[in-house]
Amino acid sequence: MDTQKFADQIRYYTMKELDNLGFGHFGGSLSIVETLAVLYGKVMNVSPEKKDDPDRDYFVLSKGHAGPALYATLFLKGYFDEAFLFNLNQNGTNLPSHPDRIKTPGVDMTTGSLGQGISAATGIAKGNQLLGKENFTFAIVGDGELNEGQCWEAFQFAAHQKLDHLIVFIDDNKKQLDGYTTDICDPFDFVEKMQAFGFNSWRVDGGNVDAIEAAIDQAKEIKGKPAAIVLDTVKGQGVPYLEELADNHHIRPDEAAKTAIKKAIVTLAEKIEVNS
Amino acid sequence: MKNLEMRQVYTKTILALAEKDQKVVVLEADLASSMGTSKLKEQLGKSYINVGIMEAEEMGVAAGLAVTGFTPFIHTFAPFATRRSFDQVFLSLGYAKNHAVIVGTDPGVTAEMNGGTHMPFEDVALMRVIPGNHIYEVSDPYQFKAILEYAHTAKGLFYIRTIRKQATSLYKGEEDFSKGYVKLKEGTAGTIFASGIMVEEALQAATDLERLGISVQVIDLFRIKPMNEEIVIEAAKMGPIVTAENHNVIGGLGSAVAEIVTENHPVKMKRIGVKEQFGQVGKLEYLKEVYGLKAADISKAMVGLLE
């Protein structure tokens, strides 16, 4: 399938999921949609049938609050049905805000306490390296998440262990809960930082599926070093109303926002040719 | 085993386990020199990973290794294995239901010269609140070996608290450790439950009480969680209970025993352990005096309960 169309589908179901719930992490879920589409639509060797295949690829969503986008992706990949998807955050749910490897089919690692997912991803990559496997471990960390010191522990470990089958994406959407990353704890230049930490690193347009795919191809070629792809993204990506909303990390929509969200869902439905 | 230091028991046992199971992997956070695990590094090769001074990452790497089917054995000093990396242990290992074995060394006053910063009186209390995990405080080389072997085959999160140096030998290697306790001395008037280095003090206290004509039983209650409720209730039915632990009296062995006792068969109890104090530098015997962890403290408590 066309990767951009897959991204539009993920965006549509992410919006539906959160709209159904009435509130949630719209901003940071939407900014990683294109990356998820490339990973699950094009790059990763994963499927519900291959969940026990030791050679399959692994994915860790370290910025666990973007769970809804991952869930939409896993639903579209056939890990569970649509009814399961709309169980997001309901009482007794198996689809909690933050990913849970025990509860949700297709989730490789439990995440949510920021910084911990990337550590586990380095462990998964190390495990596969010990097993002599060629499969890849992909992880998405948030730009705000990189405030956490544990991330930098993980990067030191990954570089030292030469985890060249670990590909880290930094979702540089420029905002964290309390505002712009530059105002809260200036991250300076992620690419320079990651290079200094022993990674191969470069910046790509995180809204462009072809650019993301090309970056992954490039990252896979690198031997002896892990790769960090800095995704230039926008919080609320692909939904103009949310992109322009100042406070768009966790949204509890007012009437105007509700209307805009419903309208965006209709537009996305038309784009992917489903009934909204 | 008799003359082996606990750290040698660790190395020897892990090597034997790794020989049978290639999925055994050992994690260290720059304390190999303290733990004496250089043999593991030599013999396990790639399956021995020293992450450096980063305990949070150590727990995360262990979680990832468990996800890919490995059984990680994780070592660091007890305060770093628990209070420093608690959220990582809680979430990436406990909540995520990963099988891992954490060995926390030099508990309580046995941290001696490392002093208060390195002296965990709270590690058991912290670990006890993680749902479904297993907690042991070992007192003897054979016991340590048996528990490491059990932790390797069982599933779930294990925390084993041990000194690094030589422990007083209590066992011969023929004992059954599966019940989580061993009765070391019979008695009729009351019970002393102890763990770790306090077992020796408890046995001394029982001998001293014997001279006073008081017969108490001594039980090495080395499995702190899940604690064997039957033995605690049985003891409560017999008479008063004194617990002895090298840990804060809040949240450790004594608390766990008290919870079972009060809910099942209320009886007079006294908890010997550290009370509202931080650690400090000192030699073991000095620290045992300062924190009230001597045989005399235990026997005095028992006499008080029996009066």
HEC readout, B200-230: HHHHHHHHHHHHCCCCEEEEECCEEECCCHH
Residues in A closer than 8 angstroms to B51, CB to CB, are: 157
Residues in B closer than 8 angstroms to A119, CB to CB, are: 56-57, 59-61, 63-64, 88, 92
Q: Which residues on chain A place their C-beta less than 8 Å from a C-beta of chain B?
A: 54, 58, 100-102, 108-110, 112-113, 115-116, 118-128, 130-131, 149-150, 153-154, 156-157, 160-161
Q: Is B27 on the interface with A (CB under 8 A)?
A: no
CB pairs under 8 A between A and B: 104
Q: How far is B99 from chain A (nearest CA, A)?
A: 13
DSSP-based helix, strand, coil % in chain B, nearest 5: 45, 20, 35
Residue of A102, A114, A150 to mutate, testing the B interface (most B Cβ within 10 Å of its Cβ): A150
Q: Does residue A1 surpass a pLDDT of 90?
A: no
Dump pLDDT digits (tens) for B10-50.
999 999 999 999 999 999 999 999 999 999 999 999 999 99
d(CA B44, CA B264): 48
The stretch A3-30 carries a mean pLDDT of 96
Q: Say which residues have a Cβ less than 8 Å from residue A260's Cβ, sequence separation at least 6.
A: A241, A242, A253
In this prediction, the residues of chain B whose per-residue pLDDT falls under 50 are: none
Q: How far is B98 from chain A (nearest CA, A)?
A: 10
Subunit contact B57:A120, Cβ cutoff 8 A:
no
pLDDT for B3: 83
pLDDT for B1: 77
User: What are residue A235's phi and psi, to 5 degrees?
Assistant: -65, 130
Q: Is B45 on the interface with A (CB under 8 A)?
A: no
Residue B269 host element (H or E): strand B269-274
pLDDT for A276: 73
The stretch A51-57 carries a mean pLDDT of 94
pTM of the model: 0.96
ipTM: 0.95
Q: Is B35 on the interface with A (CB under 8 A)?
A: no
Q: Is B133 on the interface with A (CB under 8 A)?
A: no
Q: How many beta carbons lie within 10 A of that of residue B237, not counting itself? A: 10
Task: Match 């191809």 to its residue by tokens.
Answer: A217
Residues in A closer than 8 angstroms to B28, CB to CB, are: none
Nearest CB neighbour to B91, from listed A54, A116, A157: A116
Subunit contact A124:B65, Cβ cutoff 8 A:
yes
Nearest CB neighbour to A150, from listed B46, B56, B69: B56
Torsion of CA B169, B170, B172, B174, to 10 degrees: -140
Subunit contact B56:A128, Cβ cutoff 8 A:
no
Residues in A closer than 8 angstroms to B60, CB to CB, are: 116, 118-120, 122-123, 150, 154
Q: How far is A126 from chain B (nearest CA, A)?
A: 7
Q: Is B150 on the interface with A (CB under 8 A)?
A: no
Dump pLDDT digits (tens) for A58-89.
999 999 999 999 999 999 999 999 999 999 99
Subunit contact A150:B57, Cβ cutoff 8 A:
yes
Dump pLDDT digits (tens) for A150-168.
999 999 999 999 999 999 9
Subunit contact A130:B25, Cβ cutoff 8 A:
yes
Name the packing angle between helices A3-21 and A255-272 (round to 10°). Answer: 150
With beta carbons less than 8 A apart as the criterion, state whether B249 and B274 touch. Answer: yes
Give a three-class secondary structure readout of chain A: CCHHHHHHHHHHHHHHHHHHHCCECHHHHHCCHHHHHHHHHHHCCCCHHHCCCCCCCEEEECCHHHHHHHHHHHHHCCCCCHHHHCCCCCCCCCCCCCCCCCCCCCCCCCCCCCCHHHHHHHHHHHHHHHCCCCCCEEEEEECCHHHCHHHHHHHHHHHHCCCCCEEEEEEECCEECCEEHHHHHCCCCHHHHHHHCCCEEEEEECCCHHHHHHHHHHHHHCCCCCEEEEEECCCCCCCHHHHHCCCCCCECCCHHHHHHHHHHHHHHHHHHCCCC
Residues in B closer than 8 angstroms to A110, CB to CB, are: 91-92, 95-96
pLDDT for A213: 98
The stretch A237-265 carries a mean pLDDT of 92
Q: How far is B51 from chain A (nearest CA, A)?
A: 6
User: What are residue A261's phi and psi, to 5 degrees?
Assistant: -65, -45
Using only C-alpha atoms, chain B has a radius of gyration, in whole angstroms, of 19
Residue of B26, B49, B55, B57 to mutate, testing the A interface (most A Cβ within 10 Å of its Cβ): B57
Instruction: Provide the pLDDT confidence category of residue A50 given band limits of 50, 70 and 90.
Output: very high
Using only C-alpha atoms, chain A has a radius of gyration, in whole angstroms, of 17
Q: Cα dihedral sign for A48, A49, A51, A54?
A: negative
The stretch A262-271 carries a mean pLDDT of 95
Nearest CB neighbour to A116, from listed B47, B49, B92: B92
Of A124-133, A252-261, B133-142, B233-242, the range with the lowest mean pLDDT is A252-261
pLDDT for A109: 98
pLDDT for B303: 98
Subunit contact A58:B67, Cβ cutoff 8 A:
yes
Q: Does residue A40 surpass a pLDDT of 80?
A: yes
Residue B245 host element (H or E): strand B241-248
With beta carbons less than 8 A apart as the criterion, state whether A133 and A180 touch. Answer: no
pLDDT for A193: 98
Nearest CB neighbour to B62, from listed A121, A123, A130: A123
d(CA B157, CA B62): 11
| Complete edge-to-edge strand list for the sheet that includes strand A137-142 | A58-61, A137-142, A166-172, A227-232, A200-205
Q: Say which residues have a Cβ less than 8 Å from residue B29's Cβ, sequence separation at least 6.
A: B50, B51, B52, B53, B54, B55, B58, B75, B76, B80
Residue of A157, A162, A168 to mutate, testing the B interface (most B Cβ within 10 Å of its Cβ): A157
pLDDT for A248: 87
**Which among B188, B182, B301 is positioned nearest to B242, based on CA atoms?**
B301
Subunit contact B54:A156, Cβ cutoff 8 A:
yes
Torsion of CA B111, B114, B115, B116, to 10 degrees: -90
Cis ω for the linkage preceding B226 (within 30 of 0):
yes
Quick one: what percent of chain A has pLDDT higher than 70?
A: 100
Hey, what are A265's tokens? 């869902």
Q: Does residue A103 surpass a pLDDT of 80?
A: yes
**Which among A39, A56, A62 is positioned nearest to A122, based on CA atoms?**
A62
Q: How far is B115 from chain A (nearest CA, A)?
A: 26
